[in-house]
Chain A
Amino acid sequence: MKKIFCNLKLCLGCKTCEIACAVEHSKSKDLFKSISAGERPRTRVKVASGAPAPFPIRCQHCEDAPCVEACMSGAMSKDKAGATVHDKDKCVGCWMCIMACPFGALAKDDRERIVFKCDLCPDRDVPACVEACPTKALFIGTTEEFEKRVAARKEKRVELRHNRK
């Protein structure tokens, strides 16, 4: 299946993905409209500081997903394509999935007492975070496609723009 990957060498920790994700999950899907409407949409991706570089954390859509295993109400499940999906109507807010997730990718929505997570942007071809990433660190595709891309980049040894004298 297609997953979202991050080339850690390119992440600058600017949190553009966080904003893009929140806006995509707002009612208006517009930054200024949702802010002026007092809406507080939430991001499903969080940029964490890591050594030596920051990186975004979001649902990895694991093949053998511990959250699905842990979910007692059946809200968390795998769909046909292999994505981990969350059914908000079935969620009872027991937070077992949060305990089980090895990535810390799930978050609590205290207002509605349910869990929320990356849904791979069902309304879009390319997820909002991937499209917004200013350094193209984020990528959507299969594992093979991502590996190919990283390898190609290495070969090209993209010359830093400002290196050109």
Chain B
Amino acid sequence: MPKKYEKRSADKASQQVLKKAEEEHIDTIWDRYEAMKPQCGFGELGICCTNCYLGPCRIDPFGEGPAVGVCGADADTIVARNLLRHIAAGGAAHSDHGRDVARMIRLIGEGKAHDYEIKDEVKLRFLCELYGIATGGKKKDELAKALGEKALAQFGQQEGEIGFITRAPRKRQELWRKLNIVPRGIDIEVVEAMHRVNMGVDTDYKNILMQGFRTALADGWGGSMVATELQDIVLGSPLPVRGKVNLGVLKEDHVNMVVHGHEPALPEVAVKAAKDPELLEMAKAVGAKGLNIVGMCCTANEVLMRHGVPVAGNFLQQELAVITGAVEVLMVDVQCIMPALVEVASCFHTEIVTTSPKARFPGVTYIEFDERKAYEISKTIWKKAIANFKNRRKDAVSIPKESMDMVAGFSAEVIAKMLGGTYRSTYRPLNDAIIAGRVRGIAGVVGCNNPKVMHDWGHLTLVKELLKNDVIVLETGCAALACGKAGLLRPEAAFEYAGKGLREVCEAVGIPPVLHMGACVDNSRILIAACEVLREGGLGEDISDLPAAGAAPEWMSEKAITIGFYFVGSGVFTVFGGPMPIFGSERVTDFLTKDVEAVCGGKFAFEADPIKTAKLMIEHIDRKRAQLKLKGLMYQEKESLVRA
């Protein structure tokens, strides 16, 4: 019989630390989840409304109790309104991240952030032109300031269309205009969403959900895309880089700092500071061999793909990193930082350092990040870590051995270069491979971890099944790290897991069958890659024509809902592992899983079994192949591929 810790995570390193946690009676997210069960069915179904003080109201889904809230809102309205609130919150998180990057690039342009520089001038000029800023004869600082201002203006824009919309295929843009869901600005859509869900405003569930799509598009083609593109300019566009992932990257004889959260601006400089001679001297003086910086969650993805910084793990491993007993400082910024970390860290010497004024924890060290003094701040935090090294309890340290090689950093631009070569970068070979039936199609597998699903199991089972069926997989966020730990992000993985056609392509190009495209905010890169594939020709005119599908098998964050909405709104069939809180309204559920396809070409599905998820995605890809009148697959007979 499998032990409790074996049932909680599919990852061997995590299992070892979970065993230790169990022995030492340290509660982790899995214990808290058990204690919370059963979780309230009204919340799960989305039919609990707390938007005004007539309530809280609940609709009885079985039809005996109230069918409408005190104000008269029925289940359809309540479910749609609650969902729109989630979308607004998720979009706000991504977009606020983008805003900070825009502010930073303006500071750099003004010469006020000396620890940063413009690293990708090509992209800087490209984006300036896209935004209609004349670039001729202008210096990069001048352009950075202008771009920063233009990007910031996107957030406050009140009318018209956000700039990046024009990057979408023409047909898609026209559809959005027809549906009136082109975002007018980034912030306005979040604000309008919040207005509409206020007491007594929008009641028509379809009208509410369409604002959901517009709010989500303001994230995917707005805030998130601003964050990704501007970060590339300042921190450098990622290039394929070898890295290591899993808890084994913590070093027993080094001072360990884990950087966790989503915004790479400060961690980026902390990586630089890890080589500072003064700090290294100090580390030696306390008996450590050196400074070891490792990432966690999406901050990890950011510093991994730009510097090859090792990754300690994904969302469900944040407490586990602390429980190894070897972490001196856990530096956090924003998003996905469990409040429970404070309690877990109190069992060890680990000091948590919060750095964002938006995310403070009571009683926890706070060192505010300031772009103008980034290096100085990094050094202060490193000094805390070095000073804390002596407090480490030797007997409490147990670092799992496991760490896996992975290749990260496939931006949309890099994929073109890999496929076509530096001087004639093109998606042509991928399009040809799909058209010829070597590669069946493209899947985006993204999203979080959730203790409701065995850690990493959902991602791994789904991705392996897709690879076997010749579907190339693009990944971001915690999904990418899950597959990284299992070795799926190594080129060698093609031999072991990919179908024959996909294997040939991976061998010829020299890429892994699963491509790491960055953090969760970088899902915008997947949209850009899809546009590039379309531009190359032969696979239709719109994103909804592509033999492609998306999935988030272990999702939990509101951001995942928003991402789902901008993918579906962009024409992608998207499967979520657990249900969204919509099943209390059959009409909303039907709309999102069926009728919406006729509206915007994409739709949602909800499927907890990852093998069945793969089947749904493959069926969709095959349907799109048939619509494009593409040949059958080169090496596989249809019957043999899809496991029932």
Which of chain A's residues 128-165 have a Cβ closer than 8 Å to chain B?
134-136, 158-163, 165
Q: Which of A47, A49, A54, A135 contacts B64 (CB 8 A)?
A: A135
Question: What CA separation (Å) do A136 and B67 show in the bound complex?
Answer: 13
List the B side residues contacting A54 at CB < 8 Å.
37-38, 41
How far is it, in angstroms, between the C-alpha of A134 and the C-alpha of B61 when the chains are bound? 10
The answer for the CA separation of A94 and B586 in the assembled complex, in Å, is: 52
Question: Which residues of A have CB within 8 Å of B66?
Answer: 134
| Set of chain A residues within 8 Å of B63, measured between Cβ atoms | 158-161
B42 at interface, CB cutoff 8 A: yes
- Contact status A134-B586, CB under 8 Å: no
B38 & A136 in contact (Cβ 8 Å cutoff): no
From B43, which residue of chain A is reached at the shortest CB distance?
A: A14
Q: For the complex, is B75 an interface residue (Cβ under 8 Å from A)? A: yes
Chain B, 12-33, CB within 8 A of any chain A CB: none
Q: Is A25 an interface residue (CB 8 A)?
A: no
Task: For B65, give the chain A residue with the smallest CB separation.
Answer: A134
The CA of A54 and the CA of B41, in the complex, are separated in Å by: 9
B58 within 8 A of A: yes
Residue B39 is within 8 A (CB to CB) of chain A in the complex: yes
What's the Cα separation between A162 and B591 when bound, in Å? 13
B38-A162 in contact (CB<8A): no
Q: Which of A49, A134, A135 has the most chain B CB within a 10 Å cutoff?
A: A134
* Contact between B62 and A48, CB atoms less than 8 A apart: no
Closest beta carbon of chain B to A117's beta carbon, Å:
21
Interface secondary structure of B, over-half rule: loop
Q: Determine which residue in A12, A15, A158 has the highest number of CB atoms from chain B within 10 A of its CB, and name it.
A: A12
Are B75 and A161 in contact, CB atoms less than 8 angstroms apart? yes
- Considering the chains assembled together, what is the distance between the CA atoms of A97 and B584 in angstroms? 41
Asked if A93 is at the interface of the complex by the 8 Å CB criterion, the answer is no
Q: Is A91 an interface residue (CB 8 A)?
A: no
Across-interface contacts of A66 in B (CB, < 8 A): none
Contact of A162 among B39, B58, B61, B64 (CB under 8 A): B61
Candidates A48, A135, A159, A162; contact of B65 at CB < 8 Å:
A135
Chain A residues whose CB sits within 8 angstroms of the CB of B37 once the complex forms: 13, 49, 54
Interface string of B51-66 (1 = CB under 8 A from A): 0000000111111111
Grouping DSSP codes into helix (H, G, I), strand (E, B) and loop, the A interface class, with mixed when no group exceeds half, is: loop
- Chain A contacts for B45, CB-based, 8 A: 12
* Chain A minimum-CB-distance residue to B588: A162
Instruction: Give the shortest distance, in Å, between A31 (CB) and chain B (any CB).
Output: 12
Q: Say whether B76 faces chain A, with CB atoms less than 8 Å apart.
A: yes
Are A160 and B38 in contact (CB-based, < 8 A)?
no
User: B587 near A: Cβ within 8 Å?
Assistant: yes
Does B62 lie within 8 Å of A10, measured CB to CB? yes
Docked Cα-Cα span, A13 to B67, in Å, equals: 19
Cα A165 to Cα B59 in complex, Å, equals: 17
The count of residues in chain B whose C-beta lies closer than 8 Å to any C-beta of chain A is 26
* A72 vs B116: C-alpha distance when bound (angstroms): 77
Q: Which residues of B contact A159 (CB under 8 A)?
A: 63
- B586/A162 in contact, CB under 8 A: yes
Q: Is the CB of B76 within 8 A of A162?
A: yes
B586 nearest in chain A by CB position: A162
CB interface residues, A 42-73, toward B, < 8 Å: 47-49, 54
Task: List the B side residues contacting A158 at CB < 8 Å.
Answer: 62-64
- The proximity string for B residues 557-600 relative to A, scoring 1 for CB distances below 8 Å and 0 otherwise, is 00000000000000000000000000011110000000000000
A165 / chain B contacts, CB cutoff of 8 Å: 587
B40 interfacial by beta-carbon distance below 8 Å: yes
Q: Are A135 and B62 in contact (CB under 8 A)?
A: yes
Contact with A along B102-127 (1 / 0, CB 8 A): 00000000000000000000000000
**Which residues does chain B contribute within 8 Å of A13, judged by CB atoms?**
37-41
Task: Given A135-B61, A161-B61, A162-B587, answer yes or no on A14-B40 (Cβ-Cβ < 8 Å).
Answer: yes
**CA–CA, A48 to B64, complex, Å?**
23
The residues of A that contact B60 with a CB separation of less than 8 Å are 134-136, 161
Residues of B within 8 A of A11 (CB): 41
Question: CA A9 – CA B67 in complex, angstroms?
Answer: 18
B378-413 Cβ-contact flags toward A at 8 Å (1 or 0): 000000000000000000000000000000000000
**How far apart are the CA atoms of A49 and B40 in the complex, in Å?**
11
Contacting residues, chain B, for A160 (C-beta < 8 A): 61-63, 586
- Complex: A52 Cα to B35 Cα, angstroms: 18
Q: In the bound complex, what is the Cα–Cα distance between A161 and B44 (angstroms)?
A: 17
* Alpha-carbon separation in the docked complex, A129 to B557 (Å): 33
Binding site for A on B (CB under 8 A): 37-45, 58-67, 74-76, 584-587
Task: Taking A12-B40, A54-B41, A136-B64 as given, write out 11 further A-B residue pairs in contact, using a Cβ cutoff of 8 Å, ordered by the A residue number.
Answer: A10-B62, A12-B61, A14-B43, A49-B38, A134-B66, A135-B61, A135-B62, A135-B65, A158-B62, A161-B60, A161-B63
Please list 24 pairs of residues, one from A and one from B, whose beta carbons are closer than 8 Å in the complex, sorted by A's number: A12-B40, A12-B41, A12-B45, A12-B61, A13-B40, A14-B41, A15-B40, A47-B38, A49-B38, A54-B41, A134-B60, A135-B62, A135-B64, A136-B62, A160-B61, A160-B63, A160-B586, A161-B59, A161-B63, A161-B67, A162-B74, A162-B75, A162-B76, A165-B587
- Using a CB–CB cutoff of 8 Å, the interface residues on chain A facing chain B are 9-15, 47-49, 54, 134-136, 158-163, 165
Task: Please give me the 9 A-B residue pairs with the lowest Cβ-Cβ distance, nearest first.
Answer: A12-B41, A13-B38, A54-B38, A49-B37, A49-B38, A14-B40, A136-B64, A161-B63, A162-B586
